[in-house]
Structure 1
């Protein structure tokens, strides 16, 4: 089922050339998408527009047939999307359990254990964890959210190969087993191989490859 549609989306940085130009595409639930592109090609900008963190100069983003600008960007961000940021975006003075509870009130420990953290690690300050462990906390925060769309900006970029493969598997499971729409900006060829659909962003155009 189609859940997100980009309709004629154009975006231009102030006093710059158009980074996204008349992009029209759609994303379905139950699938994992990878978006490739050179640095500065607009991948993160596109993710921000889909997530309601910014608005296009032309065109619109539709969620379940409704323009997200008309329904309210704050409502869209709160109810429809969960974002895994490249820098994890964790609260640095909190533990993993406390970070996850910011998203949902349910017990955070089981999901953190499922993602490979021990009970001791789940109760430490997040700054005392490795990059891979911090990324697992960020993903746990996403998994406890009821949002049907997961947006991930380079989720395996700072991880070793084995950890990256595990994270990719978790995200794929979110799409195929939890029926979420997972959209990932990445440079990872290994992640691309696992995606159901791969796009490449080049010269403002989004092309399926």
Structure 2
């Protein structure tokens, strides 16, 4: 396992829709490289909103998000998204007229065929249109795209939500290895108890606050 060090700090984050409906109410957290975090909570509690804030897709109503000690608003949200963050979505968000190899090339600065093979796709599958792949294979392509990026933080929104139990277990193992062996900070929004049990730290949003809870390992 690579040595962990703090990379993200959330300081008293609040977020309101239309400046009326308050979703997040003073969220504080510190997240490290080399670890996988699971964020839990009921539907509509603000899990995906928090992921969007960390990823620089939206700005908090108040509070700050620091990346390597610097406020991401000072880094510039676009620069933050380009250099520091990569997303994995439940819906995969692949370009459907491309092959897996071509999708991964979008973020890669290294050969991609060997990466796709390590994630379980054959060379033939890597050159096939992504719509001809199973859901589990498409999610592997999405993970390969994230791994090909040099961004140190991976944000995953329900990455196992559309997958069967066996495939979901394999994806969870891939995410764990990504954190532990490649030294990435992996933050996963999920409803999956199985995924939460494998996380290094479990965080739960309740009434707009983010609370650490004991792992169920």
TM-score > 0.5 by shorter chain: yes
Q: CA deviation at 1:15?
A: 5.8
> 2:185 maps to which residue?
181
The 2-side partners of 1:160 and 1:122 are apart by 22
User: Secondary structure at 1:77's aligned position in 2?
Assistant: helix
> How many pairs align?
209
User: Secondary structure at 2:93's aligned position in 1?
Assistant: coil
> 1:98 maps to which residue?
102
User: Secondary structure at 1:97's aligned position in 2?
Assistant: helix
The 2-side partners of 1:83 and 1:89 are apart by 9
Is structure 2 residue 1 aligned with structure 1 residue 4? no
Q: CA deviation at 1:106?
A: 2.3
Is structure 2 residue 110 aligned with structure 1 residue 117? no
TM-score of the two chains, using structure 2 as the length reference: 0.94
Q: CA deviation at 1:105?
A: 3.8
1:1-150 matches, cutoff 5 A: 1-14=5-18, 16-150=20-154
The 2-side partners of 1:64 and 1:8 are apart by 17
Q: CA deviation at 1:16?
A: 4.2
Residues 109 and 149 of structure 2 are in contact (CA less than 8 Å); yes or no, is this contact kept in structure 1?
no
The C-alpha deviation readout for 1:92-118, integer Å capped at 9, x for no partner, is: 110000000000142211111111111
Q: CA deviation at 1:27?
A: 0.4
The 2-side partners of 1:174 and 1:104 are apart by 16
Q: Structure 2, unaligned stretches of length 5 or more?
A: none
| More deviation, 16-25/89-98 | 16-25
The 1-side partners of 2:185 and 2:90 are apart by 19
The C-alpha deviation readout for 1:136-181, integer Å capped at 9, x for no partner, is: 0000000111111110000111111111111101110111111111
TM-score of the two chains, using structure 1 as the length reference: 0.98
Moved over 4 A (4+): none
Q: Structure 1, unaligned stretches of length 5 or more?
A: none
The C-alpha deviation readout for 1:61-93, integer Å capped at 9, x for no partner, is: 100000000111111111111110121111011
